[in-house]
Amino acid sequence: MSKHNINHVNNRKKVYRSILICMLFLNIVGIIYFQKKNLDSQLPNNIKMIVDKKEEFDFDLPMSAKISTQEVGVLSVNNKKIPDNQIDISFSKPFSIVSSEVGQYTIDVKLFGLIDYKQINVDVIESVELIPSGIPIGIYVETDGIMVLGTSPIPSTDGLNYEPAVNILKSGDYITEINGNAINDKEELIEEVQKSDGKDMTFTLTRNKKEIDVKIKPIMSNDGKYKIGAWIRDDTQGIGTLTYIDSTGKFGALGHGITDIDTNLLMNIKEGSVHTAKIMQIVKGKSGAPGELVGLINQTEEEKVGDIKINSKQGIFGNLEGQFRELTNLEPMKIGLKQDVKLGKAYVRCMVENEVKDYEIQIEKIELNSSNVSKGLVIRITDERLINITNGIVQGMSGSPIIQDNKIIGAVTHVFIQDSTKGYGTFIENMLKTVE
């Protein structure tokens, strides 16, 4: 074999060796990534505990941890009072923790007892009881400012198209003032634009929680009206399910936030109200098309039963009026924390047969650290009664409380588009954290 051929073969060997080394490196990185993701799904970032209630944990992971507290003698681990303010525990075998006082603690976790891995925050809270509702409600909210959905061209009187707001207004902006004057609804905005006579206008916006001013010059459209070329919205309404009521009349509903249907962004609300609602029709879910509870919202002042104070990724929250609280006629339950939730049988409470009923489900997956807080549970409807009526989970059932072992543990949030018998749920402690 010639020297040239030998060099060629050696070069090819070097290339193959480099490729194999790269593939091995990528495999190792992939294994580490998926192992870390698996560990994160088993190990929560936050743990809530009830004061004076023993909490059992069995992570079965090759980790050790150190609990830090400023209060000496408050915590007990495995039924032994710990006199020191730092407690060592092993995550490779079951253990229990009890706190005699409300407070906050940190758990520093080490992989194999050597490598710093993560910090878990522990909140010890008073015992909480809630009334799991399941009653459909009508929801009406007004945005805090005029929400911008997008921009569009304007056919002008000169036969050309203009886009005065393009690259100035963005989807998700909220217009709060024009030329220094507060704007309360889209009718006021349209009126101010008409009065501009085509002169530059200063729009005050809220964008990413910051206030900014922009200038836009309205264009006269071919219908003789001044326009800025923006799609806007200032209110929305729909049907949802009331998740819980507490002893003071505060409520949580939906389990996920109210988002704009066009931009899919969480809406900033100025005010909102809850009304009685009547389910008129049930559209069954099918593969590729979620079903729906079609209802009539009694949007009168007489049928208003509460106020919405918060719209968050974990749902809507506010206060109910006493009369509606009495109509629920349901018994309170203790809450079940994340560590209380188990795979297997549970129940979802909803009202699809003109009365509140509990329907059997299976909890198929528990994701303690889901990147989407409203998707911590995967559930499947198994009760034939509910399947016959709705084919599973339908739009409008969001907020239906999930009950296991006679505790309220969460709420339904989403349906699987390709399989309406399955969907997501959120943990009840996530909803309560929003109120806190």
Catalytic residues: 256, 383, 398
Strand pairing class (115-125; 46-50): parallel
From start to end of 255-343, where are the E strands?
269-283, 291-297, 304-312, 315-320, 333-335
Please list, residue by residue across 24-50, b when 16 or more beta carbons sit within 10 angstroms of its beta carbon and e when fewer do: eeeeeeeeeeeeeeebbeebbeebbbb
In terms of residues, how long is the chain?
Answer: 436
Is residue 352 a contact partner of residue 381, using CB atoms and an 8 Å limit?
no
- Give the whole-angstrom CA distance, residue 14 versus residue 116: 38
Distances (CA, A) of 122 to 271, 356, 373, 388: 34, 35, 18, 43
Which token pair is 253? 């509903």
- Give the whole-angstrom CA distance, residue 274 versus residue 351: 17
Which token pair is 166? 């393009």
Q: Tokens 């402690």 label which residue?
A: 429
Which token pair is 122? 């522990």
Q: Tokens 């349906």 label which residue?
A: 415
249's CB contacts (< 8 A; 6+ apart) are 319, 320, 321, 322, 325
